[in-house]
Amino acid sequence: MGTIIHVELTSTSPEKTADFYARAFGWESTASPHVPDYLVARTGDGSGVDAAVMSSRYQSQSTIVWIEVPDIDAAVASVETAGGASAGEILDLPGEGRVGYVKDPHGVVIGLKQPR
């Protein structure tokens, strides 16, 4: 089953956007050590998912959900079989696992993560 584990919000001004969510909802953001203009946001305690605010130069879609998968290559193949498509390279993110983007048949971008 594909569980939603993360949400990305894109912005032309990630710092200002992160500041908005901090003031409006108390999110605590820190800069990613791996990706420039990418801030990881803790959205609070309890159930729910954390988020990130990133530069829209990486993806233009305003909100992207991330789904955890046990095998990212198999998940990409399933997306393609279902009528979707790969949307870039699969990358190894140090300390995190393998990550990549796919698109559904209507062009909606979805992030996939295979934990390490």
Query: pLDDT tens digits for 44-101?
Result: 887 889 999 999 999 999 999 999 999 999 999 999 999 999 999 999 999 889 999 9
The structure's pTM equals 0.85
pLDDT digits (tens, 9 = 90+) for 19-56: 999 998 899 999 999 899 999 999 988 788 999 999 99
String of DSSP letters for 33-90? SSSTTEEEEE--SSSS-EEEEEETTT--SSEEEEEE-S-HHHHHHHHHHTT-EE-S--
Q: Which domains does the chain have, with CATH numbers?
A: 3-115 (3.10.180.10)
